Chain A
Amino acid sequence: MSDILPTSAPPSVPAKKIAGFKPDLLMKENHNLCPGCGEPVALRKLLEAIEAVGAQERTIGVIGIGCYTSFGSGIDVDLVQALHGRAPSVATGVKRMRPETLVFTLQGDGDMVNEGLQEVIHTAARGESVTCVLLNNGVFGETGGHMTATTVLGQRTKNSLEGRDAGYHGYPILIGDLLAQLEGTAYAARGSVHDAASVMATGRMLRRALETQEKGLGFSFVEVLTMCPTGWFIPTAEGPDYLDKVMGSVHTVGELKRKAHD
């Protein structure tokens, strides 16, 4: 491999910068998340979507408890830290008091679907004009990688080492489909970050969800399937394939509900 090109500095010949290291709303690139994690990828698209709708000066985020919480001090929008699963209810309060703001929540599957499932369901049923973003990796990543309510049947986690068994552990909750049934939900979609095309598609979903809120159509929800190779006991390079085949076969990717935009 003698033909390796130098990549330590920007090119010296005329070239146009297509994209920078990090999204503009993220203040530092360094983070402590594991190799191969999908959450920073989803966070990049969320922050880019906020910029795309031009709301970076009037955005208030409500952030749950999980690995992604460590980004809380490094995101350049106003943030409120909520208790486990309570982010949609806190967001409701923020939006009702400050209706001119763009309010989003960022939660993991353990936070939203296990610890505070009723909060998001009632927020959707009331049709609150907030955007909830779920980073779904099927494990409690931050607290050691045990099973959550979205873990698919057969998936190995710390407390389902032989794979999730329906008779013993019950069936997974498909939260996106559940919320899409509610009348108050104006937009529901499920994206993934297992390859570049799906990351782009997820970015479009996040943008549409924020636009739904801007138009006041009702509750908007985007679920993003993310890799957690540490919690899945697989090499990082196999993460995207596992996400697509194992999780993606149950939590099917696509737009689940889209109320007519004007």
Chain B
Amino acid sequence: MGDVNDMAGTTSRGTVTIETERCKGCELCIPACPPDVLSMSTEVNEIGFRYPELRPGCTGCSACLLVCPDFVFEVYRYETPQQYEVTP
């Protein structure tokens, strides 16, 4: 495996589980994410809020979990980093 930085956005060292139904759409996780791989959905959940969605590039740093007031995130780190084909 080469330098991880060369493949930023295509390699995920970690991932998160997102409990979207509990999200109240405060958007605090979006700027908190260091690799900037979270973005808000266009759909809304059952209680009417938009929720975060994950794109490739997660490092499993758990910054989103630390700032989330609604306990929406669960963080995992892969044993071997996962590669993704990103459509430009």
Question: Which of A14, A44, A200 is close to B79, meaning CB atoms less than 8 Å apart?
Answer: A14
Residues of B within 8 A of A128 (CB): none
Listed by A's residue number, 23 A-B pairs whose Cβ atoms lie within 8 Å are A1-B39, A1-B53, A3-B55, A4-B53, A5-B84, A7-B16, A7-B54, A8-B18, A11-B78, A15-B78, A16-B79, A17-B75, A21-B73, A31-B70, A33-B69, A34-B24, A35-B26, A37-B69, A41-B69, A44-B71, A200-B66, A237-B30, A240-B28
Give residues in A with beta carbon < 8 Å to B: 1-5, 7-11, 13-22, 26, 29-31, 33-41, 44, 193, 195-196, 199-200, 229, 236-237, 239-240
Residues of A within 8 A of B14 (CB): 15, 18
Interface residues of B in 36-88 (CB under 8 A from A): 39, 49, 53-56, 60-63, 65-80, 82, 84, 86-87
Q: Is the CB of B71 within 8 A of A21?
A: yes
Give residues in B with beta carbon < 8 Å to A: 12, 14-20, 22, 24-28, 30-32, 39, 49, 53-56, 60-63, 65-80, 82, 84, 86-87
Complex Cα spacing A16 to B30, Å: 23
In chain A, what residue has the closest Cβ to B52?
Answer: A7
Question: Which of A1, A13, A41 is close to B68, meaning CB atoms less than 8 Å apart?
Answer: A41
In chain A, what residue has the closest Cβ to B25?
Answer: A35
Q: Is the CB of B67 within 8 A of A35?
A: no
Complex Cα spacing A11 to B54, Å: 13
Q: Is the CB of B19 within 8 A of A18?
A: no
Complex Cα spacing A39 to B70, Å: 10
In chain B, what residue has the closest Cβ to A203?
Answer: B66
Complex Cα spacing A20 to B73, Å: 7
Complex Cα spacing A24 to B86, Å: 37
Residues of B within 8 A of A21 (CB): 17, 19, 71-74
Question: Which of B15, B67, B72 is close to A5, meaning CB atoms less than 8 Å apart?
Answer: B15
Residues of B within 8 A of A30 (CB): 22
Q: Is the CB of A10 within 8 A of B55?
A: no
Q: Is the CB of B71 within 8 A of A29?
A: yes
Residues of A within 8 A of B62 (CB): 18-19, 196
With A7-B18, A237-B28 in contact, is A16–B66 under 8 Å at CB?
A: no
Residues of B within 8 A of A34 (CB): 24
Complex Cα spacing A31 to B24, Å: 11
Residues of A within 8 A of B75 (CB): 17-19
Complex Cα spacing A11 to B82, Å: 11
Q: Is the CB of A199 within 8 A of B67?
A: yes
Q: Is the CB of A237 within 8 A of B27?
A: yes
